[in-house]
DNA sequence: TATAATTCGTACCAACAGGTATGCATAAAG
DNA sequence: CTTTATGCATACCTGTTGGTACGAATTATA
């Protein structure tokens, strides 16, 4: 699914790669849609929410907390990951206009990301570590858009370098909101 | 193709919607792939390159030239466009890892965009209208990533408001490079 | 005008793709 | 120990899909 998309996912290939049969497959899943939903619910969503939820447990400058998460993406994600790109971004592009079940799930994930980032910025503002006139929600959305777009660029060029460069630029942007 | 993606594009639907027959279709195109390539070459690429190429003929502050292009997206694109998102971004996500022919074409378009934006910034630096320490290439990539991501966000939420907010944020970011 | 090339309509096809029917072990329940 | 529910393997089915074969107008060329 990561490589071919949900629509390109072939039931036969799934059962072959898993070494199971169609009997087992359809015993646990009513069909392709439920399989797709399960992949989002049980893998993509928990992974994303855990990754960005870590911001809530970060001690230190909240802006540096976000920066640390961005850098974590650079170190944790293997080179191959950037060839196929972010599962989240891929599914958004493919399924948002086609299947409301997918869309609602993906929107939830994005909202979780936004709340985590926005919360960090707001905590920084309360402790006067972040400029008071910064709009936390707008910045969070901006960072998320940038992240999704950085994955797109790296995928188009088939070169993670473009992701890294965008991240560096974003880090500079974020640090501009520090102090007063 | 805009809605269902290249893989989801159905030859039968194409000929029906065009009111032609398969005979005509396969007379002009060797198959689905050539049709896809033609759509990129004859529609998506020219449209994008023309839109961003307008920066070269912009008189006035180059940063405001870029801002004007971003605002043009907000006014020229209809609400429905944001539901299906940017054809460019969609194709990148779907086809970059699957078909080198598509990927190379899409990369060319992105390079054209980058050169246009980067060129505007560099012209601004020569005339001291843009800070000399700004890295034109990095900024151009950053803007492009943001743009692609802004389309993704709007698509995921099925609400163009998210695109508009990202654009506003980006405009503020860009104007930060003005003056010395 | 004879010939050749272009244009495109109709019928058809083989591969594929998601899904079903069914049966049979094994495990749980009474 | 019987009965029932669960887990899963095999074979098959039906609609779809990109593509082809072929012929017939129409247009260009010699």
Domain residue extents for chain A = 32-175
Instruction: List phi, psi (to 5°) of A66.
Output: -65, -45
Q: Which CATH number is B37-175 given?
A: 1.10.357.10
CB B5 within 7 Å, strand D: no
Cross-strand pairs, B130: B178
Answer whether any strand D atom is within 7 A of the Cβ of B56.
no
For residue B68, pLDDT over 90 is answered with: yes
Residue B176 scores a pLDDT above 90: yes
pLDDT-derived band at B179 (thresholds 50, 70, 90) equals confident
Q: Which residue is nearest to nucleotide D21 (CA to C1')?
A: B23
B interface residues, A as partner, C-beta within 8 Å: 3-5, 7-8, 83-85, 89-90, 92-94, 96-98, 103, 106-107, 110, 138-139, 141-142, 144-150, 152-153, 155-158, 162, 165-166, 168-170, 173, 176
Provide the pLDDT confidence category of residue B144 given band limits of 50, 70 and 90.
very high
Q: Above pLDDT 70, what percent of chain A?
A: 99
Task: Kindly report, residue by residue over A114-132, the tens digit of the pLDDT.
Answer: 999 999 999 999 999 999 9
For residues A180 and A157, give the distance between their C-alpha atoms in angstroms, rounded to a whole number: 38
- Please tell me which of the candidates B94, B103, B148 has its beta carbon nearest to residue A153: B148
The 10 Å Cβ neighbour count of residue A46 is: 13
Write down the pLDDT at residue B5: 97
Do the chains contact at A110 and B156, CB–CB below 8 Å?
yes
Q: What is the DSSP letter of B178?
A: B
Instruction: Give me the A residues in range 44-103 that sit within 7 A (CB) of strand D.
Output: none
State the average pLDDT over residues A149-172. Answer: 98
* Confidence band, pLDDT 50/70/90 cuts, at residue A28: very high
Residue B118 has what pLDDT? 98
Q: How far apart are CA A51 and CA A60, in angstroms?
A: 17
Q: pLDDT exceeding 70 applies to what percent of chain B?
A: 99
| Angstrom distance, A42 CA to D17 C1' | 33
A149 interaction partners in chain B (CB closer than 8 Å): 144-150, 152
DSSP 8-state class, residue B96: T
A61 Ramachandran zone, left/alpha/beta (phi>0; psi -120 to 50): beta
For chains A and B, what is the number of CB pairs under 8 angstroms? Answer: 140
What is the spatial distance, in angstroms and rounded to an integer, between the CA atom of A99 and the C1' atom of C26? Answer: 39
Mean pLDDT within B33-56: 98
**B109: nearest CA in chain A?**
A156
Mean per-residue pLDDT, A37-62: 97
Can you tell me the distance from the alpha carbon of B46 to that of B60, in angstroms, rounded to the nearest whole number?
A: 25
Asked if residue B22 has pLDDT above 80, the reply is yes
B180 pLDDT more than 80: no
Please give the pLDDT value at position A179.
83
Residue B142: pLDDT band by 50, 70, 90 thresholds? very high
A32-175 belongs to CATH 1.10.357.10: yes
CA of residue B167 relative to chain centroid, distance: 14
Q: What is the mean pLDDT of residues A86-113?
A: 98
- Contacts with A5 from chain B: Cβ below 8 Å: 5, 7, 94
Q: What is the mean pLDDT of chain A?
A: 97
The alpha-carbon gap from B174 to the nearest alpha carbon of chain A, in Å, equals 11
User: Is it the case that residue A180 has pLDDT exceeding 90?
Assistant: no
């Amino acid at each position: 699914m990561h490589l071919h998309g949900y629509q390109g996912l072939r039931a036969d290939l799934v059962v072959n790669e898993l070494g199971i049969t169609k009997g087992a497959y359809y015993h646990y899943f009513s069909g392709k849609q439920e399989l797709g939903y399960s992949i989002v619910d049980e893998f993509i969503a928990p992974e994303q929410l855990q990754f960005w939820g870590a911001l809530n447990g970060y001690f230190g400058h909240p802006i540096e907390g976000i920066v640390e998460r961005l850098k974590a993406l650079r170190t944790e994600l293997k080179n191959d990951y950037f060839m196929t790109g972010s599962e989240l971004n891929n599914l958004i592009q493919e399924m948002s206009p086609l299947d409301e079940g997918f869309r609602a799930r993906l929107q939830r994930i994005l909202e979780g990301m936004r709340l985590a980032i926005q919360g960090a910025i707001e905590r920084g503002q309360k402790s006067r570590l972040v400029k008071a006139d910064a709009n936390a929600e707008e910045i969070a959305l901006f960072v998320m858009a940038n992240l999704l777009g950085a994955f797109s660029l790296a995928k188009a060029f088939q070169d993670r370098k473009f992701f890294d460069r965008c991240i560096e630029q974003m880090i500079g942007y974020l640090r501009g909101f520090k102090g007063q």
